[in-house]
A and B are shown apart, each in its own frame.
Chain A
Amino acid sequence: MPSRVVLKLYIAGQTPRAESAIFHLRRICETALPNQAEIIVVDVLERPDLAEAERILATPTLVREVPPPRRRVIGDLTDIHKVLTGLGLRP
Chain B
Amino acid sequence: MSAEPTQALIERLTTGIPGLDHVTNGGLPRGRVTLVSGTAGSAKTVFACQFLVEGIRQHGQGGVFVTFEETPADIRSNMLGFGWDIAGWEAAGLWAFVDASPQPGEESVIIGNYDLGALLARIEHAVHKVNAQRASMDSLGAVFTRLTGGATVRNELLRIAAALKRLDVTAVVTAERTEEYGDVARYGVEEFVADNVIILRNVLEDEKRRRTVEILKFRGVSHQKGEWPFTVSPERGVIVIPLSAIELKQKSSDLRIGSGNPELDQLCGGGFFRDSIVLVSGATGTGKTLMATSFLAGGVHQGERCLLFAFEESREQLFRNATGWGIDFERMEAEGRLRVVCHYPEVANLEDHLIGIKAAIDEFKPSRVAVDSLSALERVSTMKGFREFVIGLTSFIKHEEIAGLFTSTTPTLLGGTSITEAHISTITDSIILLRYVEIYGEMRRGLTVLKMRGSAHDKDIREFTIDGHGMHIRKPFRNVSGILSGNLIHATPDEMERLGMLFTAGDSPA
Binding site for B on A (CB under 8 A): 10-13, 15, 17, 20-21, 24, 44-45, 48-49, 51-52, 55-61, 69-70, 72-79, 82-83, 85-86
Per the bound structure, the CA–CA distance linking A58 and B112 in Å amounts to 12
Per the bound structure, the CA–CA distance linking A49 and B99 in Å amounts to 12
Does B313 count as interface, using CB distance less than 8 angstroms? no
Q: Are A57 and B109 neighbours in the complex by a CB distance under 8 Å?
A: no
Q: Are B103 and A55 neighbours in the complex by a CB distance under 8 Å?
A: yes
- 4 additional contacts (CB under 8 A) given A75-B111, A83-B111, A85-B109: A21-B112, A57-B147, A58-B115, A78-B113
Binding site for A on B (CB under 8 A): 98-101, 103, 105-122, 124-126, 143, 147
Q: Are A13 and B109 neighbours in the complex by a CB distance under 8 Å?
A: no
Question: How many cross-chain pairs have Cβ atoms below 8 Å apart between A and B?
Answer: 104
Q: Are A52 and B122 neighbours in the complex by a CB distance under 8 Å?
A: yes
Q: Are B122 and A76 neighbours in the complex by a CB distance under 8 Å?
A: no
Contact of A76 among B98, B108, B114 (CB under 8 A): B114
Chain A residue nearest in CB terms to B113: A76
Q: List 15 A-B contacts (CB under 8 A).
A: A21-B112, A44-B122, A45-B121, A48-B121, A51-B122, A51-B125, A55-B99, A58-B117, A59-B114, A59-B118, A73-B109, A73-B111, A75-B113, A77-B111, A78-B113
- Distance (Å) between the CB of B402 and the closest chain A CB? 53
Given A12-B118, A56-B118, does the pair A17, B125 have CB atoms closer than 8 Å?
no
- Distance (Å) between the CB of B20 and the closest chain A CB? 30
Contact of A52 among B114, B125, B147 (CB under 8 A): B125
Chain B residue nearest in CB terms to A51: B118
Given A49-B125, A52-B98, A55-B99, does the pair A78, B111 have CB atoms closer than 8 Å?
yes
Given A55-B100, A57-B116, does the pair A72, B108 have CB atoms closer than 8 Å?
yes
Q: Are B106 and A72 neighbours in the complex by a CB distance under 8 Å?
A: yes
Question: Chain A contacts of B125 at CB under 8 A?
Answer: 48-49, 51-52
Question: Chain A contacts of B100 at CB under 8 A?
Answer: 55, 57
Q: Are B112 and A77 neighbours in the complex by a CB distance under 8 Å?
A: yes
Q: Are B110 and A74 neighbours in the complex by a CB distance under 8 Å?
A: yes
Contact of B108 among A24, A45, A69, A73 (CB under 8 A): A73
Question: Chain B contacts of A17 at CB under 8 A?
Answer: 113-115
Question: Chain A contacts of B120 at CB under 8 A?
Answer: 12
Per the bound structure, the CA–CA distance linking A45 and B115 in Å amounts to 13
- Distance (Å) between the CB of B138 and the closest chain A CB? 15
Per the bound structure, the CA–CA distance linking A18 and B125 in Å amounts to 20
- Distance (Å) between the CB of B474 and the closest chain A CB? 81
- Distance (Å) between the CB of B216 and the closest chain A CB? 29
Per the bound structure, the CA–CA distance linking A85 and B122 in Å amounts to 29
Q: Are A74 and B116 neighbours in the complex by a CB distance under 8 Å?
A: no
Q: Are A13 and B117 neighbours in the complex by a CB distance under 8 Å?
A: yes
